[in-house]
């Protein structure tokens, strides 16, 4: 069973200004609850015992807010010193030593329900998977296409565009379950990208380059089970969804 989580929270959250002028995006509040606190609360309910947070922008404020533990979870920190010139792939590469242990991987701007993670764990067993919703035509999403068994066949980062709405197309929630064997491969793939100095990309770009090399699946969840908080409009949406 996966007992370790990795939360990527290094970015500047520029699209969320002015809320991120003096604090990291992960501490943005939804109905009075910081995104990161909601995540950690939910992780305690699904058996996570260890969490590593990769910070960058205002990282010390994250440490001050959370400390070395959160309820039953021990919390560690890693620093992406190059957060302003890299993307989440590089932050994950910094935490690559954890991937072969098996991890629940979270982007630090996702507000979600704990029932979602618990259901995915019980449904997927030992499979590595994207937790994903049906693709709805939005721009700038992570478009995931699967076969009839929901094995991932392609991953495209929709930069500045939208993709086709189809029965086999999903979009990432920003949450993945990475089992041990897949994590070992993933760690190597990240290192290959960094070795080529290809660091200002998403970890989804890395996975998209290796869809034929290891089995990765989709576990479908409903649209109202998560909100990715990138903008002020997203904050308002999340406050309605989680009212």
From the centroid of its chain, how far is CA 143?
14
Asked if residues 153 and 214 have their Cβ atoms less than 8 Å apart, the reply is no
Give residue-wise pLDDT tens across range 130-144: 999 999 999 999 999
In this prediction, residue 151 carries a pLDDT of 98
For residue 227, give its domain range: 4-241
Which of the four pLDDT bands, split at 50, 70 and 90, describes residue 206? very high
In this prediction, residue 134 carries a pLDDT of 98
Task: Quote the mean pLDDT of the chain.
Answer: 97
Which of the four pLDDT bands, split at 50, 70 and 90, describes residue 222? very high
CATH of the domain at 55: 3.90.550.10
In this prediction, residue 34 carries a pLDDT of 98
**Would the pTM of this model clear 0.95, i.e. be above it?**
yes
Q: Read off the pLDDT of each residue in 91-98 and give the average, rounded to a whole number.
A: 98
* Structural domains in the chain (count): 1
In this prediction, residue 147 carries a pLDDT of 97
Helix axes 35-44, 114-124, angle to 10 degrees: 50
Which of the four pLDDT bands, split at 50, 70 and 90, describes residue 188? very high
Q: Read off the pLDDT of each residue in 71-86 and give the average, rounded to a whole number.
A: 98
In this prediction, residue 32 carries a pLDDT of 97
In this prediction, residue 1 carries a pLDDT of 85
In this prediction, residue 183 carries a pLDDT of 98
From the centroid of its chain, how far is CA 83?
16
**Rounded Cα–Cα distance for residues 199 and 89 (Å):** 7
Token pair belonging to 209: 């380059």
Give residue-wise pLDDT tens across range 12-64: 999 999 999 999 999 999 999 999 999 999 999 999 999 999 999 999 999 99
Q: Please give the DSSP secondary-structure letter assigned to residue 96.
A: G
């Amino acid at each position: 069973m996966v007992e370790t989580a990795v939360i990527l929270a290094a970015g500047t959250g520029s699209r969320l200004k002015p809320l991120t002028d003096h604090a990291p995006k992960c501490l943005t509040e939804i109905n009075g609850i910081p995104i990161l606190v909601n995540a950690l609360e939910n992780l305690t309910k699904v058996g996570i015992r260890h969490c590593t947070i990769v910070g960058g922008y205002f990282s010390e404020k994250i440490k001050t807010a959370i400390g070395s533990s959160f309820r039953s979870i021990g919390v560690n920190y890693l620093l992406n010193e190059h957060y302003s010139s890299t993307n989440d792939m590089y932050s994950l590469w910094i935490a690559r030593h954890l991937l072969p242990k098996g991890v629940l991987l979270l982007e630090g701007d996702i507000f979600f329900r704990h029932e979602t993670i618990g259901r995915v764990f019980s449904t997927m067993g030992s499979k590595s998977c994207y937790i994903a919703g049906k693709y709805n035509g939005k721009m700038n999403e992570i478009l995931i296409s699967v076969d009839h068994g929901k094995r991932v066949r392609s991953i495209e980062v929709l930069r500045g565009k939208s993709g086709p709405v189809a029965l086999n197309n999903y979009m990432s929630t920003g949450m993945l379950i990475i089992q041990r064997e897949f994590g070992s491969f993933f760690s190597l793939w990240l290192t290959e990208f960094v070795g080529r100095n290809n660091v200002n990309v998403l970890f989804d770009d890395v996975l998209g380059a290796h869809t034929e090399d290891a089995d990765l699946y989709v576990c479908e969840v409903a649209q109202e089970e998560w909100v990715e908080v990138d903008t002020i409009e997203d904050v308002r949406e999340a406050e309605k969804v989680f009212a």
